[in-house]
Every structure is written in structure tokens, then in C-alpha cells.
Homo-oligomer: A and B are copies of this chain.
Amino acid sequence: MDKYQNIYRDMLDDIKSGKYTSGEFLPSDTKLVMKYNVSRETVRKAMVNLAHDGYVQRLKGKGTIVLDRQRVAIPMSQLKSYREVMVEGNITSTNDVLFLEENHEVPENLRIESAIDSDLMSTKLIRRRNVGGEATVIDYDYINQAVVDHLPREAAAESIFNYFEHDLGLQIDYAIKHMTIEPANQQDHKGLGVAIGSPVVVIRSETHLTDNRLLSFTESRHRADRFSNVEFSRRRN
């Protein structure tokens, strides 16, 4: 484990556990240098990341203060799996695999920007997510078979991100996501129980690995009345 990652997690745990509450100051960089026996740049790397992720505010001349925010939802801009979001929010949800089959082509409207490889073969997976016994999201995944040749049904029923990272050792790195509001179609009506034409939040994304290989295309269709998103954003200059 890298040292700065370790410090990041340590401090984040302390914030989440309430050891440091909003408005309080964290120990200064110098104190943390002594506590962890590392150089200051290493401490700074951890603290700057915490600030960037919206947990703390660095105040020049004063110190590092804990920000006031309950993370009710996890932002789109954080690339977490549905499962991870649910676990962090202490939400119980179930997961129906509606379809799983190999050797499918990726639909045109899902090819966001790049992906000129027209001969890309993928595993098509359709899942429905239920929260509180209520269907809220339908996911359509197209997983690149050049990267994942076979997806077991058990993995699809659990967390595919977890399967990719822990069982296959893939390193998921980044995604590009497009969000629009669209009228519900026949499938939304059947799967989510919403009226045809009622609003649905559609997020189309393209996920890549650290070596830049394309892992998957996904279309997530959310009931608009159950959708909520929280973003923390920092200004660049």
C-alpha cells in the first residue's frame, strides 16, 4: 500500500467515524509528518486528495478544516459501481439479471465518441435494480469480449465491477458519461412500471482500464422520480 493512500484512508475513516466533525481542524501537515514518519509532500498528497474529493478545505495560514456534508448520494463523477453506492449509503437493494448472452454488437447510439472498432464483440447484459422492493433502474451493459471473454451468471447477479477487479485483476480507471432526460419507452414501462412517455434519466457511459483498453458500454435508465445526484465541484483557477 502506498503511504499517501494509507494516510488518505486513515483520515477519511476518522472523518466518517466522527472523530473529526465538520468545522473542526485536522492535525496540521507537520503533525501528520511526525505521526506517520513520512515527508511532507507525502502528507500533502493525501490531504490535497481529500480536499479535491470534497471532504476537507485547505485554508492557507490556518489549517485544514472538515467540510459539512452528509454524502447522501454518490456523484456521477466518481465512477463507482451501483453496488458500491448502495453499500456506502447503507441501502439494501436487489438485482435481477434479465438477459445475458455473448456475441452481441454494441448499438450505434451507445458508441459515445471513440470506439470505431465496428467488429467489437460484446457480452450483452440487462439487469434491473430494485430498492425497497421497487424497480428503479434498468442497466444495459455491453462488455468487451476482447477483455472479458466470458461473464459467469453469478458474477452478473452480484457486482460485475467486483468480478472484473478482484477475480480478473482488471484495473478500471475512467469513464465518460452522458446524461439526458428522455421519455420512457416500452421496456421502461415493463421493467420500471412507469407510464410510457414519463421522464427517465438516461446515462450512457463508456468505461476504460488503466491501459486505456475499452471495457464496456453501459446505458442506465433511472426512474426520474427516484433519481437524485449530488456533486462536489471545485473551480479550476
Binding site for B on A (CB under 8 A): 5, 22, 41, 53-54, 57, 59-60, 65, 68-70, 75-80, 113-114, 172-181, 199, 201, 208, 210-212, 224-225, 227-237
Contact = CB atoms under 8 A, between A and B. Distances in A.
Contacts of A54: 174, 176
A175 B233 contact: yes
Nearest to A198: B199
A212 B59 contact: yes
Nearest to A65: B212
B181 A231 contact: no
B78 A178 contact: no
How many copies make up the complex?
2
B177 A237 contact: no
Contacts of A234: 79, 173-174
B212 A224 contact: no
A79 B228 contact: no
A53 B173 CA distance: 13
A74 to B, nearest CB: 11
A79 B211 CA distance: 29
A176 B69 contact: yes
Given A54-B174, A77-B77, 16 more contacts: A57-B173, A57-B208, A57-B212, A59-B212, A68-B114, A75-B77, A76-B77, A76-B233, A173-B234, A173-B235, A176-B231, A177-B233, A179-B228, A179-B229, A179-B230, A180-B227
The 3 closest A-B pairs by CB, nearest first: A199-B199, A181-B224, A77-B77
B174 A231 contact: no
Contacts of A178: 228-230
Contacts of A230: 176-179
Given A59-B211, A113-B69, A181-B181, A78 B233 contact: yes
Contacts of A77: 75-77, 231-233
A234 B178 CA distance: 15
Nearest to A75: B77
Contacts of A236: 53, 78-79
Contacts of A228: 178-180
19 contacts: A41-B41, A54-B174, A57-B174, A57-B212, A59-B211, A60-B210, A69-B114, A77-B77, A78-B233, A78-B236, A79-B234, A174-B234, A176-B233, A177-B231, A177-B232, A179-B229, A180-B229, A181-B199, A199-B224
